[in-house]
A and B are shown apart, each in its own frame.
Chain A
Amino acid sequence: MKTNRQTRYPPVPNDLLELPAKQTDMTTTTDQHDKTGMAPDSSITLVDADVHCQIRSIEDLMPYLPNVWQHYIHESGLENPGKSWYPKVKRSAARDDAHPPNGVPPGSDLAFTQKQHLDYWKIDRAIMNPLYGADFLYNADLSAALCAAYNDFMIEHWYEKDKRLYGSMMIPWRDADLAVREIERIGSHPRILQIILHMTPEVLWGQRPFHPIWAAAEKHNLVLGIHWGGYAPPRATGGAAPSFYMEFHTTEALAAMAHIASFVCEGVFQKFPALKVAIIEGGMAWLPALMWRLDKDWRGCRMEVPWLTESPSKLIRRHIRLTTQPIEEPENPKHLLETINHMGSDNMLLFATDYPHWDFDSPAKALPRQIPKPLQKRIFADNAIDFYGLT
């Protein structure tokens, strides 16, 4: 039997560029997002919690940078900070069909993204996650300038241009004061609802130097979105860097686990009871095992972290969500449903495609039909609506 979602779309055409646009004019610059939480919009049936956007080149940022940094960047020949440590299995780690015909990088052409992705899949809301290495730069002032420029570019050219889009902001996290300053500057923008962070930053995000930043995030009701990858040596996966992209791609789940344990044990959710964390693109089938292990260790090690007055699994269920992509594909799809049941809540998962990247999950096919309709509805839309306060 086919699910609703599987019957909702036409077959993928050979040339998506020939498809007529299915949406009416979605362009808007008005405030659509009430982060204080209005009643959920029941017309939202598909939220994509991980779509990527990027600049075409660093020249896009020049109008948003002070003169001194424009000169600095041109003098130094800085292009895009943050190179990957691994050659990807595809160019730009993108789907082969996601390179816009005008030659700009995948995910840097709003019209193309609208047509190929948002319109085609009838995505009602998308959380946009720019991936850029500016926040990893060791020069905190340069990092702050580039993060601010990137944020301003994305707001103007993406987030304010389509009412389906909500955005993530970058912060110069190596300097808490500068990071807080950037959050104070744009954290209340109605289209910004998340701070984008990475899973392999040489640090664990629960640790105390970051707490002033998390206080500002909580104040502005910004989710911390911890996304796969990063631009530091990928050591959070057990102390050593894997040899291959495939290894790294898979074992990023270990880094995700380490960050969750860090948030829990450092008492971040006791200090910031309204703070929320989204684990993006780390997979999800490992979550029950992590909760079981943390709960078990908490029973014997509570005296080391006495501020943990409730079990880690309860804190995780209250504060953390995981995006589904790249979804695990067990031989027997029923096992995926069993795994979700082990999470102890239907609220934990947010559907995501990761467009335009090669490990994209299709809204029509990614969730196996063994997942009951009410749970699919939660995963495809309701959980994200509740978690992000989408309208």
Chain B
Amino acid sequence: MKKKKIAALDLDQIPDGTMQAVRVGRRNLLMVRQGHQVYALRNICAHQGARISDGVLTCTRRGGHVGEYVEEKAGRIIRCPWHNWEYDAVDGSALHDPKHTRVASYQTVVEDGKVWVMV
């Protein structure tokens, strides 16, 4: 089905390094801004359905040697407010099982000071 391009919000409504819930048509989306890039995800956790916009935008810790804590992916990891599942804003994948578990992600473009979502 052909996708529609719909304006979600003005770019200056979402400061860099933050996330925001928006409604686009009948969809509840989560917008995540990293610099000039804005990602759009379905705002419903794949686990038990929490609004992931109520969680935190943060980083994760890389798998390394035992006892080693190294942060990575700062500003693009959303932790669900309920049971702490982590999602990568870039593609909606859940970090514990990126191949099989994700929230839907949508293509976005920034034009004329607006963030447009392809839905």
Contacts and interface: CB of A to CB of B under 8 A. Distances in A.
Interface string B26-49: 000000000000000000000100
B60 A299 contact: no
A300 B48 CA distance: 13
Contact of B62 (A266, A267, A299, A306): A306
A308 B95 CA distance: 12
* Contact residues on A (Cβ < 8 Å of other chain), bracket: 10 to 19
Contacts of B61: 302-303, 306
Given A302-B95, A302-B96, A303-B60, A271 B84 contact: no
Contacts of B70: 306
Interface in A280-338: 298-303, 306-309, 311
Contacts, number: 45
Interface string B50-91: 000000000011111111111000000000000111100000
A309 B63 contact: yes
Contacts of B96: 298-299, 302, 311
Given A298-B96, A299-B96, A306 B63 contact: yes
B63 A307 contact: yes
A303 B63 contact: no
Interface string A262-289: 0000110011000000000000000000
A147 B66 CA distance: 31
Give the interface size class of chain B.
20 to 34
Interface in A90-128: none
A270 B84 contact: no
Given A298-B96, A311-B96, A303 B86 contact: yes
B83 A300 contact: yes
A299 to B, nearest CB: 5
A25 to B, nearest CB: 49
Task: Determine the main DSSP class of B at the interface with A.
Answer: loop
Nearest to A269: B66
Nearest to B47: A299
Contact of B86 (A267, A270, A302): A302
Contacts of A299: 47, 83-85, 94, 96-97
Contacts of B83: 299-300
B85 A306 contact: no
Contacts of A302: 60-61, 86, 95-96
Contacts of A298: 96
Contacts of A309: 63
A42 B18 CA distance: 63
Nearest to A267: B66
A162 B100 CA distance: 52
A266 B85 contact: no
A270 B68 CA distance: 12
Interface in A201-244: 208
Contacts of B68: 306-307
A96 to B, nearest CB: 48
A291 B71 CA distance: 27
B66 A270 contact: yes
Nearest to A300: B84
Nearest to B65: A307
Nearest to A266: B66
Contacts of A267: 66-67
A270 B64 CA distance: 9
A301 B84 contact: yes
A306 B69 contact: yes
A335 to B, nearest CB: 28
B115 to A, nearest CB: 29
Contacts of A300: 83-85
Interface of A: 208, 266-267, 270-271, 298-303, 306-309, 311
Nearest 4 pairs of A and B residues by beta carbon: A267-B66, A300-B84, A309-B63, A306-B61
5 contacts: A299-B47, A299-B84, A299-B94, A302-B60, A303-B61
